Structure 1
């Protein structure tokens, strides 16, 4: 019986299992049968292992709403919190603040990871984390994480998928530039974990903490009435600072030096040189002597 005919006869049956899970499940079943013949406890142990393997590899078909600008839950789980935060730097989303919807998934949830919105993958990054980490905190730095930024025609939505402490396996088949459709399966995460959906500021989340969601079907938000998101970029955008030409400052005028007043010496009466005075007196004496000689000559001539 084909899968399509089975779904038409039993529409409630939508379970799927990946090939890797079926292989390990078959091995656990064989061991349970063989070892169960030796002791029933060994058989019970491997039957429990078989159940865990099937749960870890379980997925289901989903029917996603086709309306544009709808943001869907990427995984099955429960809404843990709705808060405003700064986007993780791994998303390379050029916006200061976003709305984060955190979804917690149990180890028994379906393992499919689905696209949250229809658009193109702007950036994609895998953080390997530490192997065999047992963690119960969504912010534990040792978790294996996938960061996906998807942009539609007018909005951008970021997704962070983290494995739980009991499920280190996370495989996402994406590359930057790939086109995705909301609700389509893009990867696998086994044994639960956390999913963070980052929405533009102004988005209205239609669910509250504690409510259950179905990956690929439950609508988290409708972005049709939200303003366009901030610019997205695969690399951080650096805006150069404007160059301001500085006008050289005019030099301050040097202080004027005080003008020294020239000392004016008093003008004294011109002194007559001594040589001129002596010459004048000699000439006067000579004239007087000549006059005296002439007078004596006249007296002598009269007597004679």
Structure 2
């Protein structure tokens, strides 16, 4: 079953953001067939890479109203406490944060962690360093504030990476969104962070891989009161990350 699931994921239709790149590869193939064979091979490689990179597989969120799921595929590189982006207007209080790094091999479609209403979307220009680095907090980003159906607030942040130059967000302020729903994509390497309500206990750890829309990051309904001490949450990745 896992093999068939992987095959379906790889062969999934592309996200609309990849269509111009796929079309460019097809044009190169046609031009290569007319003028130069080597150009056609470049077009084939480009087309296949874009079909893979922009793949948009369906995901099935867990059938639990209290489950907050991963907003993206990738490697969890941070589980710490951090102040959410100031442009969202949320209280400047450290919140549990989970950062997911997306390599060029991961699915880059972003998904809503939990059902709620988009209360604010704020885009901020910045740098373009490796999204796994500590300095990437200053990278170009798009931040969303989401008021969950139970009244709690979370933040989701799309962060551009070293070669990423385009963040796409398909939702608008005031939209009510479902758990696991697609809300955007970041082109070519990036990071997606989620800031949890105060006191939330993360159910994942640094070095774990997440599947967007399916991996449960936290149980919101079972959240204890108060923010856990910083010492209870690892703040630095293990060697090699």
State the TM-score bracket (shorter-chain normalisation): 0.7 to 0.9
Matches of 1:183 and 1:69, distance apart in 2: 13
The structure-2 alpha-carbon separation of the partners of 1:141 and 1:212, relative to structure 1 and needing over 3 Å to count, comes to closer
Equivalent in the alignment of 2:59: 62
Matches of 1:229 and 1:180, distance apart in 2: 27
Q: SS at 1:208's partner residue?
A: coil
Equivalent in the alignment of 1:147: 143
Matches of 1:229 and 1:119, distance apart in 2: 22
Matches of 1:186 and 1:51, distance apart in 2: 24
Q: How many residues align?
A: 219
Contact conserved, 1:161 with 1:195, CA < 8 A, in 2? yes
Q: From 12, 31, 36, give the equivalent of 1:34.
A: 31
1:151-166 equivalent positions in 2, closer than 5 A: 151-152=147-148, 153-166=150-163
Report deviation, 1:122: 2.1
The structure-2 alpha-carbon separation of the partners of 1:94 and 1:42, relative to structure 1 and needing over 3 Å to count, comes to same
Report deviation, 1:186: 1.1
Equivalent in the alignment of 2:79: 82
Give the structure, 1 or 2, with the largest relative contact order (CA under 8 Å, sep 6 or more): 2
* TM-score normalised over the length of structure 2: 0.79
Per-residue displacement from partner, 1:111-136 (whole Å, max 9, x unpaired)?
21111111111221112446xx4645
The structure-2 alpha-carbon separation of the partners of 1:149 and 1:83, relative to structure 1 and needing over 3 Å to count, comes to same
The structure-2 alpha-carbon separation of the partners of 1:30 and 1:216, relative to structure 1 and needing over 3 Å to count, comes to same
Q: Which has the larger strand fraction?
A: 2
Report deviation, 1:175: 2.5
Matches of 2:33 and 2:66, distance apart in 1: 54
Q: SS at 1:58's partner residue?
A: coil
Matches of 2:89 and 2:224, distance apart in 1: 20
Q: SS at 1:220's partner residue?
A: strand
Unmatched 5+ residue regions in structure 2? Answer: 228-241
Q: SS at 1:17's partner residue?
A: coil
1:185-196 equivalent positions in 2, closer than 5 A: 185-196=182-193
Structure whose CA Rg is larger: 1
1:116 to 2:113 alignment:
yes
Contact conserved, 2:102 with 2:108, CA < 8 A, in 1? no
Matches of 2:202 and 2:145, distance apart in 1: 19
Q: CA RMSD in A?
A: 2.6
